[in-house]
């Protein structure tokens, strides 16, 4: 399947090292989603949402590994039980706080993507559809490392 970048992330982070590993750990990290100008009309009504989903390509991720040692663990885990970027299809999803929209630029907080990340999609975050506070989170419920920033283990 062929997908096309619809824009790019402007982020303070230029290398995996030191980048927040999740937007939940990046509340103060601000940046911009710069869409191609042709998409201005499609952004109508989005400013009524507190949060958005960004769907993007992990453009700096290393190649697929079936098992990885996640940032918050010391044991190798199956790749699909992690959010590591070295996936068969290197697609990431992040919840960002939408501060404002000006023309084709979304000003956001919670950036956990690298500068230059290609954007695939923007969707509204809808608590009724997306928020499930209960439930088990496997090895992450027992995680032993309180790490909030990435290192270079998954970078190519």
Binding of residue 48 to a copy of itself (CB under 8 A): yes
Binding of residue 3 to a copy of itself (CB under 8 A): yes
DSSP 25: G
67/152 with CB nearer a copy of itself:
67
Buried-state track 56-79, b at ≥16 Cβ within 10 A, e below 16: bbbbbbbeeeeebebbbbeeebeb
Binding of residue 145 to a copy of itself (CB under 8 A): no
CA distance 156 to 143: 26
Binding of residue 107 to a copy of itself (CB under 8 A): no
Q: How far is the CB of 154 from a copy of itself (least distance, A)?
A: 14
CA distance 20 to 113: 8
Q: Where along the sequence are the contacts to a copy of itself (CB under 8 A)? A: 1-6, 22-24, 39, 41-51, 53, 55, 57, 66-67, 77-83, 87-89, 91, 93, 95, 118, 120-141
């Amino acid at each position: 399947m062929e997908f096309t970048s619809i824009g790019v992330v402007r982020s303070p982070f230029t290398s995996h090292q030191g980048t927040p590993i999740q937007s939940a750990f990046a509340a103060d990290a601000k940046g911009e989603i710069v869409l191609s100008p042709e998409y201005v009309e499609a952004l109508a009504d989005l400013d009524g949402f507190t949060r958005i989903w960004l769907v993007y390509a992990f453009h700096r991720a290393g190649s697929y590994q079936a098992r990885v040692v996640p940032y918050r663990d010391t044991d190798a885990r199956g790749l699909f039980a992690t959010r590591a970027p070295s996936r068969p299809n290197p697609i990431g999803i992040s919840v960002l706080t939408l501060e404002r929209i000006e023309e084709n630029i979304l000003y956001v907080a919670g950036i956990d993507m690298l500068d230059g990340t290609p954007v695939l999609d923007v969707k509204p975050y809808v608590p009724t559809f997306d928020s499930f506070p209960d439930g088990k989170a496997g090895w992450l419920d027992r995680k032993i490392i309180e790490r909030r920033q990435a290192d270079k283990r998954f970078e190519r």
